[in-house]
Structure 1
Amino acid sequence: MTAGYLSTIGLIERLHRQCLEVIKVELDRGGIRDLSNVQAMILFNIGDDELTVGELTQRGYYLGSNVSYNVKKMVENGYLIQERSRHDRRSQIVRLSEKALAVRDRIRVMYDRHVEALGPEMAQLEGVNKSLLKLERFWNNQISIGQRTPSSSQDAAA
């Protein structure tokens, strides 16, 4: 039982890294050298929206990367437009530049190719997604419980 659970965790980690590698290959194919795979994923997740860095961090999963650093680099390289929020002058919002929109579209086309190549197997992925969502909810619940209960070291001291 434990082996299956640990196998699932390992597979999730490997799949995330492989997804980033697939994105890197696509960037290399397009001659895009001033953008990392994680940065491309951030651009894809921004899409057509305007977001604060905090919202961006909550929206995506970037393998522990520093979102603020990546935003700064993408602003410097012309991928993001950063402005003060009209509603809260303390907040900075970011949106995609034309250069970034081209990258976002390239990644979307790549994903479309993948869906087409998977064909009938896409139906199986829906079942996998349901299982992964259950696992995500379980882990979120574990985090919530952990934040509400004292640590085991505090229990031992009592």
Structure 2
Amino acid sequence: MAALQHLQAATPGMPEWTQVHWLGLLSGDAIVVIAEADADVAGYAVASLLRIPGEVVAELEAIVVASAHRRNGLGHGLLRYLLAESQAAGAIRLMLEVRTGNGAARALYQGLGFQEEGLRRRYYRDPVEDAVLMSLQFPQETVAVEKGQE
């Protein structure tokens, strides 16, 4: 957990989660994906699973890639793995917020099929910035079995 906290603290624009926050995430219904390079944490992605009656929705809490490992597909790989794990856990979609000025992240999300759904004004601090709300609906495999057929 210390390596994740250190990487998050070293990433501009990321809030510093306390150990209590991390423990809350990890003890709850969360998916954590960690990428390592040379025995160091190169990046990670965290999603919470929100269980609403009748459905499960995943919410991206954070995706962080160490500066030395950016622009080589690691973020894309982390997110694809997180999407697969979220869907395997029963989620019907993944939601997220992203800074309006974070063009690289927005391009990553759009490239994976995320759609913009709205805007939260003045959502972020240091600096104050709007958040774009995005989500990706997972394909629902429906097996229709007529009565009496197998």
Q: The TM-score by the shorter chain falls in which range?
A: under 0.3
**Structure with greater helix share of residues:** 1
TM-score of the aligned structures, taking structure 2 as reference length:
0.27
Question: Which has the higher Rg, Structure 1 or Structure 2?
Answer: 1
TM-score of the aligned structures, taking structure 1 as reference length:
0.26
**Structure with greater strand share of residues:** 2
